[in-house]
A = this chain, B = another copy of it.
Amino acid sequence: MPKNIKYYRKAFTHKSSVTSSDKHKQYNERLEFLGDCIIDAIIADYLFQKYPNESEGFLTKMKSKIVNRKSLNQIAVQLHLDSYLQSNIANVKENDALGNAFEALIGAMYLDKGFDFTKQYFISKIIERFFDISFLEANDTNYKSQLLEIVQKKKQTIVFDSEGVEPGPENSSQFVSIIKIDNVAVATAKASTKKEAEQRASKIVIESMNIH
């Protein structure tokens, strides 16, 4: 049972339902900030223990497959958070507000019950219930192919300008990739392989599309 109900009430209060706009304490954005970082820490620990022999790169990729805008929104819908959220949003299920409320809920639980409780809850009730970890493990998030799909849908042209550049730190070779959409360079990234540089640049473009 919750010890302090006020945190949970705040987690379910969207900015749009609060009239006095200057009172950050009254709605869930601060809790969402906290919950986002708590979720990252829990997943980092979970993956670290689950995959004792995998590289940091593998762990980072798996983390972003588990927590992202889309997965948080989907979890929130499956938890029926829309019945709890106080908001003035017309189509709340087509909005990031639900995923944000879920992050805020985890922030509230952390404040109320502490890190270890929240970690146990998140692993057993969220990760193990909503994610097929072996499926995620097998399916690589391919930002380049995602981006190509988006661009084709919008009937835009896309060009990857990728080339080797001067040696990077510790003499590793370096590649730089510039992505041009409709002839405008929209992102650039460096990495030690051409493939990874293109993936990173594609990720930047995809993420900048999600910025509201």
By a beta-carbon cutoff of 8 Å, the part of chain A in contact with chain B is 16, 24-25, 29-30, 32-34, 36-38, 40-41, 43-45, 48, 52-56, 59-60, 89, 95, 107, 110, 114-116, 168-170, 172, 178, 184-191, 200, 204, 208, 211-212
In the complex, are the beta carbons of A37 and B40 less than 8 A apart? yes
Residue of B nearest to A36 (CB): B44
The distance in angstroms between the C-alpha atoms of A204 and B189, with both chains bound, is 10
In the complex, are the beta carbons of B95 and A169 less than 8 A apart? yes
Interface of A is mostly: helix
Say how many copies of this protein the assembly contains.
2
Q: Which residues of B contact A208 (CB under 8 A)?
A: 188-190, 204
Q: Which residues of B contact A60 (CB under 8 A)?
A: 33
Task: Pick from A89, A186, A188 the residue with the most CB of B within 10 Å.
Answer: A188
- A89 CB → nearest B CB, Å: 7
Q: Which residues of B contact A56 (CB under 8 A)?
A: 24, 29-30, 32-33
The distance in angstroms between the C-alpha atoms of A55 and B188, with both chains bound, is 31
Residue of B nearest to A89 (CB): B170
Residue of B nearest to A184 (CB): B185
* Contact (A29, B55) CB under 8 Å given A116-B115, A208-B188: yes
* Contact (A34, B55) CB under 8 Å given A186-B185, A211-B191: no
Across the interface, A59 reaches (CB within 8 A) one of B33, B52, B170, namely B33
In the complex, are the beta carbons of B32 and A37 less than 8 A apart? no
Q: Which residues of B contact A116 (CB under 8 A)?
A: 114-115
In the complex, are the beta carbons of B52 and A44 less than 8 A apart? no
The distance in angstroms between the C-alpha atoms of A72 and B161, with both chains bound, is 33
Question: 19 A-B contacts, Cβ less than 8 Å apart?
Answer: A25-B52, A29-B56, A30-B48, A30-B56, A34-B44, A34-B45, A40-B40, A40-B41, A95-B169, A115-B116, A168-B212, A178-B184, A185-B185, A185-B186, A186-B188, A187-B204, A189-B211, A200-B211, A204-B208
The distance in angstroms between the C-alpha atoms of A208 and B200, with both chains bound, is 10
